Amino acid sequence: MELVWGEGEFTEGPVPAADGTILFSDIGNRIMQYDPRTGRTRVFRADSGRSNGMMFDARGRLVVCEGANTGGRRRISITLPNGSVQTLADRFEGKRFNSPNDVAVAPSGRVYFTDPRYVGNEPRELDFEGVFVIQPDRTVKVATRDVEKPNGILVSSDGTTVYVSDNNGQGRRELLAFAVAPDGTLRDKRVLWRFAAGERGIDGMTLDEEGNIYASAASGEAAGIYVFSPQGQPLAWIPTPGAPTNCVFGIGPEARVLYITAPVEEARQAAQQAGRKKYGLYRIELKKRGYHLFPR
């Protein structure tokens, strides 16, 4: 595993762009862009609205979860190819979202996102933490409330299944699968994997071409990327230096390279005088190829 950038405050939401670069969030600060051809990292969007999870839709628009706290706009935004930023949704039935966390775009064009509240003291207007779906006409519906604190989210390549990580430090820590109803809502919940009491649950996730799930989870010596089949069978474990927050495959020549956001290794942290963890972007080459709605 190679550290390619390690100057972040809290990195999250990696996603490949059409040109092969990797965008990722430095939460509370900016969206960064790493270029594997040059090894350089630059600021992609300085005013990120506290960006967290991100994904491109089939039209090449960057869909971003903007969370709560320290400048967070508590919305789903879209960044167009020309760089302009628009609000896709920021309310449900007139009430502001808690803190949009992670996002997944379905082949149908529907946008699913999780809306927990982990940090931030802003008054809450919703009395639940659920999964929402934004329809192609921009109407917002509750996809499911059958979760405690939803975090990572994925849509299968055929659009029939949505995977959700229910990551409540004081409750459930499960990998869930839902069937997609004709109206886009989620039903028929199945628990694919349950982490033991006291273990850190799943944060962000990604898919490979075979539909296997790569989930960033756990901490300490158990920290890493946990790989599950679509049915929840554990297939592999990739250890990481510290608790990972998210992961995604590259594209093109890097279709088998998994990018991971995680803390900078302990040796580097010990050298810091401030005592605060730094987060970065890692990569590791695997045997599988990643799946992306866009770019292919």
What would the pLDDT profile of 131-149 be if each residue is shown by its tens digit? 999 999 999 999 999 999 9
Say which CATH class 2-285 falls into.
mainly beta
User: Is residue 61's pLDDT more than 50?
Assistant: yes
Task: Please tell me the distance from the alpha carbon of residue 100 to that of residue 73, in angstroms, as a whole number.
Answer: 9
Give the number of other Cβ atoms within 10 Å of residue 136's Cβ. Answer: 11
pLDDT at 198: 83
| 20, 140, 170, 200 from 196: Cα distances, Å | 38, 34, 12, 9
pLDDT at 136: 94
- Percent with pLDDT over 70 in the chain: 96
Query: Cα dihedral angle (80, 48, 259, 6), rounded to 10 degrees?
Result: 140
User: Across the chain, which distance is largest between two alpha carbons, in Å?
Assistant: 55
pLDDT at 267: 44
User: Is residue 27's pLDDT more than 60?
Assistant: yes
Average pLDDT, the chain: 93
| 92, 99, 106, 144, 294 from 133: Cα distances, Å | 10, 15, 10, 9, 19
Task: Please tell me the distance from the alpha carbon of residue 196 to that of residue 30, in angstroms, as a whole number.
Answer: 34
- List, for residues 263-280, the tens digit of each pLDDT value: 997 545 554 555 567 999
- List, for residues 225-262, the tens digit of each pLDDT value: 999 999 999 999 999 999 999 999 999 999 999 999 99
User: Is residue 172's pLDDT more than 80?
Assistant: yes
**Once rounded to an integer, what is the mean pLDDT over residues 165-192?**
96
* Verdict on whether the full-model pTM lies above 0.85: yes
